Structure 1
Amino acid sequence: MFKPENIENEFFHRIGFNFDPKSLTAGSVLISEPFLSDPNFSRSVILLTEYTEDDGAFGFILNKPTELEISDIVDTFPYSGHTFHIGGPVSSETVFFIHSAGSEINESRKIMDDLYWSGDFDHAKELIDLGKVTADQIKFFGGDSGWGVGQLEDELKHHSWIIGSLTADQVLAGDADSLWKRSLTRLGKKFSIMAEFPENPELN
């Protein structure tokens, strides 16, 4: 029977898994290790929208959609078929969004090429209502995922996360169910080993 505690740290480094906090930047993706016990982050993929050593990290879980739409959460929002996602356990009553509309949405903040976060919410609503921003250009979240100074670095030291990357199109794609596995396998064949680990090794 496979047990995660039997995996030596050396093994991860030998096959090239990236746990180095020096490679973190806005736009980095955190891919949870298969047996992460925190239910908030189990098999999650998190986009970092902000990161500095001095201020910590901030971002959103990309692969926890709900059955609701943003119009179910914000009653003044135009019906538009935009799925509402759980962004993390912090500030759960706050609505956030990421998008590829750039300066089309006032006060947007750039994450990386073709990907932005935040901006004037009312202006975003208006553009969606006019059909100028479509569902494949924007993603809405309730709550966020945040780490204080040194917290994420400590979790990386304990191999809770693997650092990866996604393009703007991949971040905004609607295929959340398979995102965790695909984010690992996209890093190369050696990562496919981890992608196929059972969620509960005790049941394997």
Structure 2
Amino acid sequence: MPGIGDPRFERAVVLVCAHDSEHAMGLAVNRPAGGLTVPDLLRRLEIKSTIRVPADLVLIGGPVERERGFVLHTDDYRGEHSLGIAGGMALTATREVLEAMAGHAAPPRRARLALGYAGWAAGQLENEIKHNVWLVCDSDEDLLFDGDHERKWSRALGKLGIDPKRLSAVTGQA
């Protein structure tokens, strides 16, 4: 929501990847990491590509553990430590998925690499949703994986039938 009060999440589109009674974890999918691309990161990690790796921007997944990488991808790739997510998605945080993306194994059909994640303690996310800090919509592949990071927030709102120009952080009482 506008006026979230935390610049790290202003206009963020976050996919909740894990959620249970103890915690919630998600990745922002619309925050590029200052021009860093996946091929750049693979080179830094000394992972040689055997295929042409798309120059997708690496994302800032959230403020927690920003040195740790996570790959959100379609579930046609499943590593030993992949976490299945609803809607045909999976999340993997191992070097193996990076090697697959570089062509060492069958890569996922679509993937986004993010550094860091967003995390919530028990009941925190539910409380924030209850207090209208977050709006919730269904995810879809194009919203998650396309490169139009500037418009993802307004597109997510559009899925809810909300015009971002008419959305306000100010509320009233009736």
Q: TM exceeds 0.5?
A: yes
Quick check: 1:71–1:77 contact (8 Å CA) kept in 2?
no
RMSD of aligned C-alpha atoms? 2.5
Q: CA deviation at 1:104?
A: 4.5
Matched, 1:160 2:133: yes
Matched, 1:48 2:16: yes
Q: CA deviation at 1:186?
A: 1.6
Greater Cα offset, 65-74 or 87-96: 65-74
Runs of 5+ unmatched residues, structure 1: 1-32
For the pair shown, the structure with the greater C-alpha radius of gyration is: 1
Picking from 64, 67, 71, the partner of 1:90 is 64
Mapped to 2, the partners of 1:70 and 1:138 lie a distance apart of 10
With normalisation by structure 2, the TM-score equals: 0.81
1:164-185 CA-partner distances (Å, limit 9, x unpaired): 1112343112211100001001
Quick check: 1:34–1:197 contact (8 Å CA) kept in 2?
no
Query: Which residue matches 1:109?
Result: 83
Amino acid at match of 1:90: V
Mapped to 2, the partners of 1:73 and 1:130 lie a distance apart of 15
Please state which structure has a larger fraction of its residues in helix. 1
Mapped to 2, the partners of 1:200 and 1:164 lie a distance apart of 18
Matched, 1:196 2:165: yes
How many equivalent residue pairs? Answer: 162
Residue aligned with 1:84, SS:
strand
Mapped to 2, the partners of 1:199 and 1:40 lie a distance apart of 19
Mapped to 2, the partners of 1:142 and 1:105 lie a distance apart of 19
Picking from 20, 23, 30, the partner of 1:63 is 30
Residue aligned with 1:196, SS:
helix
